[in-house]
Chains A and B, each alone.
Chain A
Amino acid sequence: AQSVTQLGSHVSVSEGALVLLRCNYSSSVPPYLFWYVQYPNQGLQLLLKYTSAATLVKGINGFEAEFKKSETSFHLTKPSAHMSDAAEYFCAVRAYSSASKIIFGSGTRLSIRP
């Protein structure tokens, strides 16, 4: 069965600092992995996705994530945090049990200190 674990339910960084949100996956087959973002009072939107091409994936708003098979990780990073990055971030993995199903992690709330 596929699953994702997000380490840290809440991360706080200063504006301009590095953002690092951690995600580890469990999958018996090569995974498809995603990061979604939810801004306050909005639905989720896709930030980036890994579908077995390049291991370093670039997304919107300056975010990127690196797929590391040896560590079963797919951490999300941004070199310099902006106040507008404050949101909840969800790591997700494709479920092989059903073609269209995605399994979401529990989420990490990112706060930005001025």
Chain B
Amino acid sequence: DVKVTQSSRYLVKRTGEKVFLECVQDMDHENMFWYRQDPGLGLRLIYFSYDVKMKEKGDIPEGYSVSREKKERFSLILESASTNQTSMYLCASTTTRDRYEQYFGPGTRLTVT
């Protein structure tokens, strides 16, 4: 069974803080993704990575950065959190062999006050 875990289910941070969201997958998947989920907007892709140290911007990368130093781990960084980054953040992974079945973590609900 593929497992994607995220470091926190709930997180509360103050405006201006640097925030790290961690995602780990245990199936040796090449591709990893960060999405944010907002009511009425569905899932929007922030960044994705298709290999260690490789990254590509998604649809809404502004205000975010990512790091992938090891194959199993993909981190999302909010350099200076703002209230409009309050959201649910979902991590996903997939293998290049069957890249369309994405496996999701349970999500991190981030509140920035």
Contacts and interface: CB of A to CB of B under 8 A. Distances in A.
Interface of A: 9, 32, 34, 36, 41-46, 49, 51, 90, 94, 98-102, 104-107
Contacts of B94: 100
Contact of B90 (A44, A94, A101): A44
Contacts of A99: 99
A100 B43 contact: no
A32 B58 CA distance: 19
Contacts, number: 54
A43 B106 contact: yes
Contacts of A106: 40-42
Given A44-B92, A106-B41, A107-B42, 9 more contacts: A36-B102, A42-B106, A43-B92, A43-B106, A46-B102, A49-B100, A98-B56, A100-B31, A100-B99
A101 B35 CA distance: 11
B113 to A, nearest CB: 22
A72 B44 CA distance: 22
Interface string B69-113: 000000000000000000000101010100111111111000000
Contacts of A49: 100-101
A34 B4 CA distance: 20
Contacts of A32: 100
Nearest to B38: A106
